[in-house]
Amino acid sequence: MDLDAETFLTRFETRDLGPEFFDHPGHIYMAWVHLRRYGLEEANRRMCDGIRDLAAKFDAPEKYSHTLTEALMRIISLRMARAGKQDFETFLKTNPDLVEDAQGVLARYYSASHLNSAEARSSWVEPDLSPIV
């Protein structure tokens, strides 16, 4: 990321983050920054609200999925806890599947039909294949 964590967080929270930062690696960076700052529960609330708002701002509200966002937050949180304190670049190097195959990561926990359901898009739906632990 070209922005330092504090600037990135501030711009995300004020919804002043351009679409160039709203790609998949940008989502992972947002999650990592939020989890380091707030812990899972508060980070998850802030991320879901922010991503939903930015998707609407960029005229793409249909791209937001609450379950997908929260599931990735939970997975990233678990991996951060297991790895200990790492900078973001090290975190990505030790978790390349989060960037290269996030759908594959999610497929360990969710069937495609369950993850892509209307309910999962609008609210949290528990995994149907395996719990996120």
And the tokens for 16?
A: 């002043």
pLDDT tens figures, 82-123: 988 889 999 999 999 999 999 999 999 999 999 999 999 999
Backbone angles phi, psi at 62, to 5 degrees: -70, -15
Where residue 9 falls among pLDDT bands split at 50, 70, 90? confident
Q: How far apart are CA 69 and CA 59, in angstroms?
A: 18
> What do you get for the CA distance between the two ends of the chain, in Å?
28
3-state secondary structure of 49: helix
The residue-averaged pLDDT of 23-47 equals 92
Domain extents in the chain: 5-122
The residue-averaged pLDDT of 69-87 equals 94
**Out of 35-39, 57-61, 96-100, least confident range:** 57-61
